[in-house]
Structure 1
Amino acid sequence: MAVFLGIDVGTSGTKTIAMREDGDILASATSEYSLSSPKPGWSEQEPEDWWKATVESVGKVLKNGKVKAADVAGIGLSGQMHGSVFLDKQGNVIRPAILWNDQRTAAECADIEKKAGGREKLIGLVANPALTGFTAPKILWLRKNEPKHFDKTVRVLLPKDYVRYRLTGEFATEVSDASGTLLLDVKHRQWCKPLLDKLDLPLSLLPKVYESEEVSGQVTAAAGKLLGLKAGVPVVGGGGDQAAGAVGNGIVKRGVISATMGTSGVVFAHSDELQIDPQGRVHTFCHAVRDKWHVMGVVLSAGGSLQWYRNQLGQAEMAASKKIKTDPYNLLTDQAAEAPPGCEGLFFLPYLTGERTPHADPHARGAWIGLSLRHGPAHLVRSVMEGATYAMRDCLEIINDMKIPIRE
């Protein structure tokens, strides 16, 4: 029976799974890596780390799943969105990749809106406002602040598409991930030449755009030898992490939405037609389903807020969890249950890294509001959980206001 590999290029690691065509998971493996923050608000990674993690995790999966190279019939890719990999004419990486959670490009976002003729006209072109996490402002930042690097740049790729390039030698992307660059005409599912012209960026910088299920290339002999795969294995377009996850969760028809919470939190709704929030509070992207779209609200520090609390204020719970061999989050959850709903008037704003939905403000910051002598650790940790949940509800309310049906 044929086996398919799924490779997810995440922020903290790359995960590979091997799955038979009947859906049975044979093996999975994750190889981790770090990110760097050379300045406040900056977030970068080395693309070579993604490739090394791909090689390592694929090797583990083939071994642990007892998968023969001849049985691998195809590869799908997903991964963190919006990151920018800058390549020179030899295909070499010029500088570390700038990631989705990097906040350095506020000035460039303002410049994009101005050159587009205003926020409303920009949304008309690419269905979304300019946000610091998106790819286009990163390209403009490079041109302004690192002109020597920009002059060497002949291609810009998203994270998973850099791994695709290393696998196949092809410069390619697909519509769901490309939607998050701010350079895609989301309605027509192709690069937005009018906006590129306004920004004085050549179309040649960008890779060919595919639908998610289309074959975008084949594994090269060199990559196959390194990974233990046969040359010629097809690699499909794949999807950005949220769109790919939505397909896996069955968010492929109208009325079905999902709410997921990791470092960030996402409320994701399928749409059969292009639906745009005129205020740009939520994202409208192409779905990883042909000729469909999705609307997505994003909370930048949802689970990340609880992780921050654990690391900074939960040292006692972390130490206790080691003694009784449990996850520290279990102890924090038990502690939160001791406080009543609403935390007796204590609120937490989860804007530790700025915010997207609904504020679109990279300068927003977190806060506890309403602290009193009655409040203790149980209130603090519960308010963090509630604050992230309220922020997710903000996303849901906007989607509801857009008259997108919510049936399940």
Structure 2
Amino acid sequence: MFLGLDVGTSGVKAILVDAEGEIAAAATTPLSLETPAPGWAEQDPEAWWAASCAAIRDVLARRPSARVEAIGISGQMHSSVFLDQRGAVIRPALLWSDGRTTAECREIVTRAGGEAQLRDWVCNPALEGFTLPKVLWLRNHEPQGFARLAKVLLAKDFVRLRLTGSIATEPSDASGTLMFDPANLRWSREMLDAVGLPLSLMPDVGGSAEVLGRVTPGAGKLARLEPGTPVVGGGADNACGAAGVGAITPGEAVSSWGTSGTVLAATAQPRVDPGLRAHTFCHVAPGVWYVMGVVLSAGGAFAWYRNQCARELAEEARDDILVDEAAAIPPGAEGATFLPYLQGERTPHRDAGLRAAFVGLSLAHSRAHMTRAVLEGVCFALRDSLEILKALGLAPAHLLLTGGGAKNAFIRQLQADVFGLPVTTVNREEGGAYGVALLAAVGAGAFPDLQTAVQRTLARRPPTPPNLDIHRAYEEVYDRFRKRLVAART
């Protein structure tokens, strides 16, 4: 068996995958999110480790005879773990959705000598969600904590540290730090020198399918794993999610709904958006990159709305009831629009100060209209990213779906209608956890490479085509969505 572990924002998922690619068991341990101030988002890294151990114990309890041959870890990107010389956590991690670092982003651009240098050095803009601004925030606002700083890790790499004692990362996650050069696969000394940070803060970089550590006896006891079990490099959640649906070759594209949402397209070279509206990162497949647009609140926007506006519904049926209600409302929600910018927005606006809004509500609108507006608003925000990919010459013929937006037939059809493209899913629904389990299988020698692993384990389901009449109707509604951006800035 191969163990895939996905350290998300809302929970840690563990799955067991057998040599044929079948999912033998799955378990999830929830996580909580702290928001000490508007626009801030934090989690305790030790909570990730505790939840990881709990999820692993739970999934192994479901298959007591399972022998884990290798482990892969995926995780939320950008979130900063600050460690001292002893490996102790200095403060709660600033997450990918944290928007407090606008001043530090301006500082980075100034120190680098302009955005053109960022494009050359790290292929990406200075955005609040990335890791480097968080390091500078620690230096600027908590100097005593910064004085203790010895290493900066990402979420999955912190769990690997606790699991194996090894301090390491791999290119797909390193790409999102703003301190790594995705084109040349190395830490950017130019960037680090410009902001006055030493290279020693950064972990060593290995391959996504390379064994970068082994389970220690102490960690094995906590997680009920055999000491010495190999742990591969793994990858960033979006890259592993793409691998989990087989999108690892140039020309493939994926739309993902997690807490955030993304649209990404795999490329054979590191392609950089001239306007730096989309991101350029390394994939978990060697020699492959991807261009990605990010919606900070996708599933997170729906979860917020559900928890605030449908508390009286039974929790286990709440999502299905809301979606069924929305499906009865005509496209466009009869004039109601939702702007899903609860934590600001990355693509295409690059504005941490944006805020969510319902616009166009009247006494004639019901909860069902509002639900439909929320779902449409998320799809329109994802389409903003798709339009950038098209402008870069990366227009896909279809989109693979993963995450929550892939599991419901109405939301699949909604995406097809808004995007104007066929959408499809695969025979696995575990996303990043499945992709990283395949990387573990490659690292253990069960498959010669990730491409072979994908070919032998994944099958695509029949596509959901767009309703062209509804797509044409959505063109006007999408234009309305874009014009109402002003409401998010007031």
TM-score (norm. length: structure 1): 0.94
138-147 or 18-27: which moved more? 18-27
Greater mean deviation of Cα atoms: 93-102 or 191-200? 93-102
Partner of 2:58: 60
Query: How big is each residue's C-alpha offset from its partner over 1:235-266, in whole Å with a ceiling of 9 and x where there is no partner?
Result: 11000111001111000112211112122111
- What's 1:185 paired with? 181
1:207 match: 203
Structure 2: distance between partners of 1:362 and 1:245: 25
What corresponds to 2:107 in structure 1?
A: 111
* Larger CA deviation: 115-124 vs 306-315: 306-315
- Aligned to 1:201, the other structure's residue is in SS state coil
Q: In 2 relative to 1, CA 62–308 (structure 1 residues): closer, same or farther, beyond 3 Å?
A: closer
2:295 to 290, 295, 299: 299
CA-to-partner distance for each residue in 1:342-393, whole Å, 9 max, x for gaps?
Answer: 2233322111110011001000112223334543333222111111111111
Give the aligned residue type for 1:79. Answer: G
1:220 aligns with 2:210: no
User: What aligned pairs does 1:9-408 form with structure 2 within 5 A after superposition?
Assistant: 9-68=7-66, 71-316=67-312, 318=313, 321=314, 327-408=317-398
| SS of alignment partner, residue 296 of structure 1 | strand
Looking at structure 2, the residues matched to 345 and 63 of structure 1 have their Cα atoms a distance apart, in angstroms, of: 50
- Alpha-carbon separation, structure 2, partners of 1:334 and 1:131: 37
Distance in 1 (alpha carbons) for counterparts of 2:366 and 2:88? 53
Q: Deviations over 1:163-218 (max 9, x none)?
A: 11111111100100111111110101110000100000000000001121111111
SS across alignment from 2:69: strand
- SS of residue in 2 equivalent to 1:327: helix
* 1:128-179 deviation per Cα after TM superposition (whole angstroms, max 9, x unaligned): 1011111000000000100011010100100110011111111100100111
By how many angstroms is 1:327 displaced? 1.6
Distance 2:247 2:231 in 1: 23
Secondary structure class of the residue paired with 2:323: helix
What amino acid sits opposite 1:21 in the alignment? A
Instruction: Tell me the number of residue pairs that the alignment of Structure 1 and Structure 2 aligns.
Output: 398
Tell me how far apart the structure 2 counterparts of residues 63 and 216 of structure 1 sit (CA, whole Å): 26
Indicate the SS of the match to 1:30: strand
The 4+ residue runs of structure 1 with deviation greater than 4 A are none
Work out the CA distance in 2 between the residues paired with 1:14 and 1:344: 38
Give, in whole Å, the separation in 2 of the partners of 1:192 and 1:184. Answer: 5
Between the aligned partners of 1:83 and 1:244, the Cα distance in structure 2 is 17
User: Any unmatched runs of 5+ in structure 2?
Assistant: 399-490
Counterpart-to-counterpart distance in 2, 1:226 and 1:382: 44
- For the 8 Å contact 1:120–1:278, the answer to whether it is kept is no
| Identical residues among aligned pairs (%) | 52
Q: Is the 8 A contact 1:254 1:405 kept in 2?
A: no
Q: Which amino acid aligns with 2:325?
A: Q
TM-score (structure 2 length as normaliser): 0.79
Query: Which runs of 5 or more residues in structure 1 are unaligned?
Result: none
- Which structure ranks higher in relative contact order (CA pairs < 8 Å, sequence separation ≥ 6)? 2
Residues in 1 aligned to 2:371 and 2:12: alpha-carbon distance in whole angstroms: 30
Query: Which position in structure 1 is the counterpart of 2:486?
Result: none
How many Å separate the matches in 2 of 1:332 and 1:217?
Answer: 45
Q: CA deviation at 1:32?
A: 1.8
Deviations 1:295-342 (Å, cap 9, x if unpaired)?
1111111222222222222234x2xx46xxx52122222222332212
For the residues of structure 1 that align with 2:346 and 2:65, how far apart are their CA atoms? 42
Shift of residue 222, structure 1, vs aligned partner: 2.1
**Cα distance, 1:405 vs structure 2:** 4.1
What is the Cα deviation at residue 228 of structure 1?
A: 2.3
Q: CA deviation at 1:63?
A: 2.1
Would the alpha carbon gap of residues 336 and 279 (structure 1) be closer, same or farther in structure 2, given more than 3 Å must change? same
8 Å contact kept, 1:157–1:206: yes
Question: Is contact 2:10–2:259 with CA below 8 Å preserved after alignment?
Answer: no
Q: Is the 8 A contact 1:4 1:19 kept in 2?
A: yes
Q: How far, CA to CA, are the matches of 2:306 and 2:84 in structure 1?
A: 41
Contact 2:249–2:288 under 8 Å retained in 1: no
Alignment-mate amino acid for residue 401 of structure 1:
A
CA distance in 2, matches of 1:73, 1:309: 41
Q: Which residue identity does 1:168 align to in structure 2? A: T
**CA–CA separation in structure 2 for the residues paired with 1:366 and 1:58:** 36
The SS at the match of 1:379 is helix
Query: Alignment partner of 1:258: what SS?
Result: strand
Task: Give per-residue Cα distances to partners, 1:40-69, cap 9 Å, x unaligned.
Answer: 22211111111111222212222211235x
In structure 2, what is the Cα distance between the partners aligned to 1:231 and 1:136? 34
Q: CA deviation at 1:97?
A: 1.2
- Alpha-carbon RMSD: 1.5
